[in-house]
Amino acid sequence: MTKQVDRDATSKLNSKFMKEAIVLSQESVRSGKGGPFGAIIIKEGKIIAQGQNQVTSTNDPTAHAEIVAIREACRMLETFQLPGCELYTSCEPCPMCLGAIYWARLDKVYYANTKVDAAQIGFDDQFIYEELQLPLAQRHLPMIQMMPQEAAIAFQDWVEKTDKVEY
């Protein structure tokens, strides 16, 4: 019986947090600051950061709700990784946000709308997913390598650095 009570309490808390992310997405639309996306980050059952899409209001194509929330959580916790944290987002993360989520080392992601739902209202990232699977030479965006020997010096310096902060 205790496990059922725990599951019910967890489910109610999850729903509460998702509702918060959804409200942020609705506020984003009403404010005109960006697209219909909201996200919150939770640690130990408490909201530590939130984000709304701010792409158009900040002229920043990376200002997606998840990225804004990750940046704020890292500032609040004074760290560049977020283990022990969970993300609640109003929509399945795009490829950029998903990359940031992995880099931030979040424990779990909860989402409401899907990438298919987003595509149906004009936020279609399918071409990015398809491009990532192509060899560099076949992508629409030309990728041209230059000066690898010169650039390798910084990599070697990193390998030899004894006081680096690993991540």
What one-character DSSP code corresponds to residue 88? E
Q: Give the integer Cα–Cα distance in Å for 118 and 20.
A: 19
Nearest 5°: the CA angle 131, 112, 74 is 75
Catalytic choice (27, 66, 150, 160): 66
Whole-Å CA distances, 87 to 3, 50, 95, 162:
24, 9, 15, 34
CA atoms in the 13 A half-sphere facing the CB of 162: 0
CA distance 80 to 122: 32
66 is catalytic: yes
Check if the beta carbon of residue 85 is closer than 8 Å to that of residue 110: no
Residues designated catalytic: 66
